[in-house]
Structure 1
Amino acid sequence: MSSKKKLIDNFPKGFTPRAGQTELVNQIEEAFKEVDIVICSAPTGTGKSFLAKTLGNASDKYTDSFVDDVMSYAAFNPNLNRNYKEFAGASVLTITKSLQDQYKELFPSCESLKGKSNYQCKIEPELDVETAPCVTTPSIKKGCWEDHICPYYEQRNTAIVSRFSTYNYKMFMALPTDLKNNHYLICDEASELEGELVDHFSVRVSAKLLKFLKIDLKLPGIHNYNKVLNFVRDAAGEANEATAGHLKAMKSKPSTVNAQRYRACSQFADKLTRILNTWETCEYVVDKDKDGILSIIPLYVQPLGHSIFKYGKKILLMSATIIDHKNYAETLGIEKYRYIEAPTTFDPDKAPIIISGKYKLNFKSLHENLPKVTKLIQEICDYHDDEKGAIHTHTNHITTFLKENLDGQRFNYREVGNNNEQMLIAHAEHEGNSVIVSPSMTHGVDLKGDLATFQIIVKLPYAPLADKRTKILFEKNKNWYSSQMLIGLVQGCGRGIRSIDDECVTYIVDGGATQAINMSKDKLPKYFLDRIA
């Protein structure tokens, strides 16, 4: 970006920034002059997507030689070892494919990369790229690269060299390390970054998995830390050797099972290697569930934030739900940053939050009160009988209970094998008064317009204390535990208000909400508190 050109001058063409957007962009520009990391609390309607695109437009361009190497696949030749160092372009990291779709829909020039299962093979059109012939026959992949016909790898390369691209966190972390350096790295829904890091540096191991991967090891006990470390070290070595063997098996006897075994073993080896590389700097939590599945999970993510942040020259962490920015920064290991809070442009009267204090839903009262709450949910839905809506259940148990006890054909329940994307498409295409019921639509879901003129939050989204990591953090830092719940609550309450013209009433039917909110007013954003009726 030219030193004489202001950041706001790079606002997306065809759009005029509002006064609030101009002020926010100017604040971020000034902040980046002093620090490399900016944390931005930006409620829905602020225009986070426009802010991200502005940074993309302002970003440095990749050199022609880098673009040529990537698009010709030379950059992926291990024998060349070019070790690219340039930081250019802007990448937006999201938590869902629907968020990626929103960026692409708003800005057609945005290059979006998703997982291999989202692209159809050109050689065998009935297969996706994840199960394509090249998985078992590397020579086919080489030919597809030379002919530039694979939709996944071509899109991967295009996204890498683009000045504005979007990935989910897992996809970005899986990219080659020297090919994902960015001038601007933008973490959307950044309140979820801790969870993404925890997942990336965790592993779950069962005896069944080891048998499938043909790794001859027994799971260790969970009380001897050194034995667990020895297991991780041994399993990593065994997995790397087994991966090489499974690759040979794929070549000599191509089959779906051999392909699945190879991919699973490769991913398993990668996870174990990541854990070994961070064992000395992270405190890992080791546990076994009732089925004997071993889990190894980082307790703290402070040492892990660098695994994302090192790929950005300037980093913007933005979310509508930054709760307690000092605690948030400390959790991610961020020492020097600038915090910016943007005001909302929405009318709170168009998005009232109505809280019912009748029935608390916690571990002790759930069995007794859930039938009563279900009757209340039925009354609310009947009141909005000619409208579309959403019910956020928080757990599969509550989803199942509602399915068994709510009357009517309008409800579309999240079930095993049915993902949120499929539900949203069916919901949008339905001409009637459909209501989606899901435990996992409080983040990254856009219920704009008439897709949800009412929504119900059944239970406060506290993380279950049955999870060992959550329980330890709860005992060490109750502020962290309550903040995690508040993030989920604020996110859920924002699903039906996606633009200044939207109107949506939110009902919270967990009777514990009033007390929880009153105790946390100093943490909660003003725009959220203003909505409470």
Structure 2
Amino acid sequence: MSDDIITRPPLPEPPEGLNEAWPAPDYRTGQKAIFQEAATALFGDNKFDTVIIDAPTGLGKSVINTGLCNYADSAFYTTPQKELRRQLEEDNLLSGLYEVLRARADYVPCQEALSRTEMVYNCSNCPVNRAKDRYYYDGLDRSKIEGVPESEVPEGAMGVKPVACSNVMQCNYWKAKVSAMRAQTAVVTFAYLIIDSFLMTYQLEDETGNVASQKSFANRDLLVVDEAHSLEGQVASMFAGFQAGENIPHEIRSKISNVVPGSLIKDATEPDYTAPIDDHVIGIEEINGFAEIRKAIHDYIAGVNERIALAQSDEPNTEVLTREDINDLQRLIAQLDSLYNGFERHLGYDYDPDESPWLLSAEQGSEGLIFKFQPVHVDQFLKETVWSRADKIVLSSATIPSYGGLDRKSGAKEWAARLGLDPETTHVIRADSPFPTSNRPIYADNPVGNMSNDGFMGHFDRIVDRIRELAEKHSGQKGLIHTSSYSQAEALADELEDLAICHRSEDPNPKAAIRRWQGEVEAVEDVKDTEKDLLISPALSEGVDLPDDKCRWQVAIKVPFASLGNPRVKYRKNRLNEIDWYLGEAALTMVQAAGRGVRHPEDECMFYVLDSSFSSVRGYTPRWYRDAIV
């Protein structure tokens, strides 16, 4: 595949007022050209409504993106990476130009929740946010909060009306949400934007006629998705699908197990067995069975509602349900409703496995089987929940998946089509790295061996020896070791305990390990870690900023090919024969990893590749990356 630009569509002159929208005192190398071209494509007199910015780390894409948001009438700035949202919030240059809405769990709850010292709340688990947990009582100056002993509940405090978070003026989450809804640019996570698409946009009104804040965001002029390269996989695995987990009653999951192929049950319960990929594909023959499951869910919900109604009635000899029991049952109803809607929306009688196939897998849980339903394609889901939220769209990343076309621009348009965007109205902007190759060399000429399959353990001793050699070469310098799994990281850390800190599986957030690695200790027992220059982790290939002395060298133990244990990966590689996609995704992760330690033109960080299979993905990396390979 060529990196050459075959065509460049003519664009009109840049729109007026661009300089006033630029958020920085001046432009870095390459920024002005990208900013003007993107703004002209989006806001000029032409056919484009989508811009893809394919530009390497260090160009300052967040500044470009913020400038485009400034120029728009209104904007969403979003990212699939929570860490990048935090970086935007803490950016001294840009943070005053937008309002950031964090997750509910990141906010301290209202004073009423905090007053109950025996309970620890945030705005996610606060009783105000939990359905029917919080009530105001006529003539009373306080509220009942879940966890209050029955003896403290005032007499006559039953049969009252629930109060929503949005009507509580002290709610920190809602104050932040109102600010974000009123701002020209709102920074939200990609997950939140999807959730918000299911909420109605209307004004909330209390009994006195006072209007509170609107419940959700209205659509906007511009939507910017930063670090957009991972959208396909993340949407398929985290948002577009649904599951029958262990919170779903056993009798419902049993009915599902009666419908699915027996090979999937065997796949989940026998470690040495792998079901054929065709058995994961939901066929037309399963649809009637899913219709019966929908009826079973409907009947189960009706039965639960009847239990609640009887318990609240004056009928004699009825079941006694506490308020907490009722809350639990109502949450179960909500979960069953979600499962019902998943079957009805995606696997109803209009389901076409040839046009839009869905995959089914089973996992062994602690209390029985868990069933997961996942689409192969995510274009329709994104059209309905994300792209519909704005008139114009910007997708930016240092690693745009552009490996499917004759050149990288046409490849990027093919990727846009897979996401549900129109390639004919998509304009692609590419830029090379402004950093000299001498500052970011990639050493791939002396690999330890092929790390696929059992290669890691087969070459384990040589891997340890090579890391020790590199640590001696870079003595006194911070080094980051990238692995493909926590088990690999922990095995290496056990052998390199004198040199390395390990980001282990029990701590999914790597921040604590990074702080220890950088000498920022909070406990006496961590002081010894400040003397260790290596950090080993499977989760730091992106979303981490390590300039200058924070990281001077890195090692990639294994090329991170997507797991063929994931039915969607296996289906795309083996059934759809998308070899370019499979190799290209691994290549882009290698590009992302190398960029963690080179953050500005004067920065330096060496990158060592120990896996000989890198040769199979090398051609899928952008030219500016290949130019640095030694």
Normalising by the smaller structure, the TM-score range is: 0.7 to 0.9
| Residue of structure 2 equivalent to 1:528 | 625
2:32 paired residue number: 22
Conserved 8 A contact 1:374-1:402 = yes
Output the CA distance in 1 between the equivalents of 2:517 and 2:430: 34
Secondary structure of 2:453 counterpart = coil
Counterpart residue type for residue 612 of structure 2: G
Partner of 1:171 in structure 2? 192
Q: 1:131, 1:245 → 2: CA distance?
A: 27
Q: Which residue pairs with 1:318 in the alignment? A: 396
Give the match for residue 239 of structure 2. 200
Residue 288 (str. 1) matches residue 362 (str. 2): yes
Letter in 2 for 1:174: I
User: Is residue 128 of structure 2 the alignment partner of residue 130 of structure 1?
Assistant: no
Aligned equivalents of 2:164, 2:307: Cα separation in 1: 22
Q: What is aligned with 2:341? A: 273
Matched, 1:377 2:467: yes
1:45 to 58, 73, 78: 58
Query: Counterpart of 1:294 in 2: which secondary structure?
Result: strand
User: How far off its partner does 1:339 sit?
Assistant: 1.1
Contact 1:452 1:504 (8 Å CA) reproduced: yes
Q: Which residue of 1 aligns with 2:491?
A: 401
Q: Matches of 2:254 and 2:15 in 1, distance apart?
A: 63
Matched residue, 1:368: 458
For the pair 1:451 / 2:540, whether they are aligned, the reply is no
Change over 3 Å in CA distance of 1:151–1:331 after alignment to 2:
same
SS at match of 1:166: strand
Residue in 2 that maps onto 1:478 = 579
Take 1:313 and 1:481, find their aligned partners in 2: how far apart are those partners? 32
Counterpart residue identity of residue 501, structure 2: F
Which whole-Å deviations, capped at 9, do the CAs of 1:115-166 have from their partners, x for residues lacking one?
A: 2221122223331122212125243683754442111122122222222222
> Which stretch of the first structure deviates more once superposed, 334-343 or 421-430?
421-430
Q: CA deviation at 1:264?
A: 7.1
Counterpart code for 2:113: E
Q: Show structure 1 runs of 5+ residues with no match.
A: 61-88
Match of 1:226 in 2: 287
Aligned ranges for residues 303-314 of structure 1 at < 5 Å? 303-306=380-383, 307-314=385-392
1:235 Cα deviation after fit: 6.9
Aligned residue runs from structure 1 range 178-217, under 5 A: 178=201, 179-198=217-236, 199-206=238-245, 208-211=246-249
2:417 is equivalent to residue 330 of structure 1:
yes
Within 2, Cα distance between the matches of 1:503 and 1:261? 57
Partner of residue 501 from structure 1, selected from 589, 602, 608: 602
Number of residue-to-residue matches in the alignment: 495
Contact 2:35 2:68 in 1 (8 A): no
2:185 alignment partner AA: F
CA shift for structure 1 position 444 = 1.6
Q: Which residue of 2 aligns with 1:31?
A: 41
- Say yes or no: does 1:113 pair with 2:190: no
Residue type of the alignment partner of 2:286: Y
Letter in 2 for 1:18: R
TM-score by length of 1: 0.84
Deviation per residue, 1:76-119 (Å, 9 max, x gap): xxxxxxxxxxxxx2112112222112112222223222222211
CA distance in structure 1 between the partners assigned to 2:543 and 2:451 by the alignment: 25
In structure 2, give the amino acid aligned to 1:334.
Answer: L
What CA distance in whole angstroms lies between the structure 2 residues aligned with 1:242 and 1:155? 39
Classify the secondary structure of the residue corresponding to 1:185.
strand
Q: 1:124 to 1:185 in 2, by over 3 A?
A: same
Counterpart residue type for residue 239 of structure 2: H
Letter in 2 for 1:90: A
Q: Is the 8 A contact 2:556 2:610 kept in 1?
A: yes
Aligned counterparts of 1:149 and 1:239: Cα–Cα separation in 2: 38
Structure 1 residue 57 displacement after superposition = 1.3
How far apart are residue 28 of structure 1 and its match? Answer: 0.8
Q: 1:101 aligns to what? A: 86
Q: 1:366/1:443 Cα in 2 relative to 1: closer, same or farther (>3 Å)?
A: same
Deviations 1:417-453 (A, max 9, x none): 4412333344442554443322122122222232221
Q: Distance in 2 between matches of 1:90 and 1:426?
A: 38
C-alpha displacement of 1:233: 3.3
Inter-CA distance 513–278: structure 2 relative to 1 (3 Å threshold): same
Q: 8 Å contact 1:21–1:46 — kept in the other structure? A: yes
Q: Are the counterparts in 1 of residues 547 and 603 from structure 2 also a CA contact under 8 Å? A: yes
- The alignment's TM-score, normalised by the length of structure 2, stands at 0.72
**2:439 alignment counterpart:** 350
What corresponds to 2:405 in structure 1?
none
CA pair 19-358 structure 1, distance change in 2 beyond 3 A = closer
Distance 1:426 1:264 in 2: 41
Cα distance in 1, alignment partners of residues 557 and 344 from structure 2: 40
Identity %: 22
CA distance in 2, matches of 1:373, 1:202: 39
Aligned residues of 2:437 and 2:627 also touching (Cα < 8 A): yes
Q: Which amino acid aligns with 1:502?
A: D
Cα distance change, pair 211–339 in 1 and its aligned pair in 2 (3 A): same
For residues 284-303 of structure 1, the C-alpha deviation after alignment (integer angstroms, 9 at most, x for no partner) is 01122455332210011222
Provide the alpha-carbon RMSD of the alignment. Answer: 3.1
Cα pair 1:204 1:293 within 8 Å, conserved: yes
* Partner residue, 1:153: 174
Q: Distance in 2 between matches of 1:145 and 1:410?
A: 48
CA distance in 1, matches of 2:583, 2:290: 32
Say which is worse superposed, 182-191 or 134-143, in terms of deviation.
Answer: 134-143
Separation of aligned partners in 2, 1:265 and 1:510: 50
Shift, 1:51, TM fit = 1.2
Partners of 2:540 and 2:329 in 1: how far apart? 32
State the Cα distance separating 1:323 from its structure 2 match.
2.8
Letter in structure 1 aligned against 2:586: M
Match of 2:590 in 1: 489
- TM-superposed CA distance for 1:237, in Å, is 4.0
Is contact 1:201-1:271 (8 Å) kept? no
Cα gap change, 1:49/1:239 in structure 2, threshold over 3 Å: closer, same or farther?
farther
Aligned-pair distance for 1:403? 2.6
